[in-house]
Structure formats: structure tokens, C-alpha cells
Amino acid sequence: MLLGMSAVKLQANVVTCNAGISACAGVGWEWSLELLASMQGTQVKADVISFSTTISICEKHSQWQVAGQLFAEMLGRDIRVDAIVFSSCISAHVRGEQWSLALDLLGQMRRCRVRADVIALSAGITAYGKGGHWQAAIDLLFSFGGHVDVVCYNAVLGACDRAGKWEVALQLLETMPRAGVRADVKSFGSSISACKAFAWQAQKLSR
């Protein structure tokens, strides 16, 4: 790709390459990865935007292994890993149902003292919930210093639903307005589902 730019007398730099990587998102993650790799054979040095854009594209295409490899490459090249990179990589592992690896990345994010954004937070909560750690999901929600959105609350409510913690789900639902978060259909759906599961269990035990 970069050779093609030279053929038409266009000067490749990191800005044009990053724009090219981003433009490849609609075509497929392989094209973005190829363009990133082709930068190594030129004088154009890939930066944090080059990698974060490629990792984000891999996340959207559920390529958690490739995202993890790119993350490791960034560390190997001593390229600063920011919140966007961490969030995309964690989300990629959650999409790939790699709960343990996603939580490892969240822990690494803390150790690197990179402040989590709501994307990383919701992905981490989902990873805890899917892994059966509903209490850890709640702890993570309330340990976040900034404003959390309905997506984060829904992730915790989903964790409570899967664990059958209907009372906790209802308590969380009550706290949402006080936190300035408006519950949506998914919020109520998870809470109702948790209550239905409890009612079914109670009915089964009473027989």
C-alpha cells in the first residue's frame, strides 16, 4: 500500500498512514493490519494512534487474539499505551468471551496507572459478570470515580441476573436515579429476569 503511494508521488507520513488504517475499517481488519505492518518497511514510524486504531478495528471484528498481539507489540516497542488502547483490547477479549484475559488487562491498566474510561469499565464489569463474579462487578462499578452511564449499570444488572441476585438487582435499580442515570428497557429487563428466576426457584422448592 505504501509502495503504491510512492508510485503516484504521494509522500507517506504517519498521519496519512493512520488515516489509511482508519479507512480500511469498512473493508476488513486484515487490510488495517497489513497497512500497519507495511509501515515497518518504511521510514514511517507507527505511533499510538496507528496501533489504537488497528486494535479498535480488530475489536469490532472480534479478533481478540490479534488485538492482544498488537498490544504486546506496543509494549515491546515501548509505545505509550493509553486508556483508548486498553479499552479496545479489553472489549476485544470480552467479545471473544476471554473473561480471565480481559480482567488481567484491567488489572494491568490499574498497575500502569491508566485511568479507566466508561468503555473499559463496562467491559470489565461484563467480564466479571460472565465469569460469575457479580460482587466484584458491583465493587468495580462503585470504585469508579467518574460518572458511570446506563451501559455500566446494565452490565452489573446482567451479572446479578445471571447470579440470581434479584434483591441486589432491585437495589441497584433504585440507586440509578440518585446517580443521575436513567434506567432503560435493558435495565428493567435484567431486573425482571432476576426476579422471575427467583420466583421459579421458590415455586420449585415449594412443591
Q: Are 132 and 168 members of one domain? A: yes
Q: Are 89 and 167 members of one domain? A: no
Q: Are 136 and 77 members of one domain? A: no
- pLDDT, position 11: 52
Domain limit, last residue, from 62, 90, 115: 115
The string of pLDDT tens digits covering residues 113-139 is 998 888 899 999 999 988 889 999 999
Higher-pLDDT residue of 49 and 24 is 49
Q: Are 10 and 91 members of one domain? A: yes
Q: Are 147 and 77 members of one domain? A: no
Q: Are 73 and 165 members of one domain? A: no
- pLDDT, position 3: 44
Distances (CA, A) of 171 to 149, 159, 174, 179, 183: 17, 14, 5, 13, 13
Number of domains, the chain: 2
Q: What is the full DSSP assignment across 39-86?
A: GGGSSPPP-HHHHHHHHHHHHHTT-HHHHHHHHHHHHHTTPPP-HHHH
- pLDDT, position 14: 87
The string of pLDDT tens digits covering residues 18-27 is 998 999 888 8
> Which domain, by its residues, includes 44?
1-115
The string of pLDDT tens digits covering residues 82-118 is 999 999 999 999 999 999 999 999 999 999 999 888 8
Q: Which of 64-68, 130-134, 144-148 has the lowest mean pLDDT?
A: 144-148
* pTM summary value: 0.80
- pLDDT, position 7: 40
Whether 155 and 126 have beta carbons less than 8 Å apart is answered as: yes
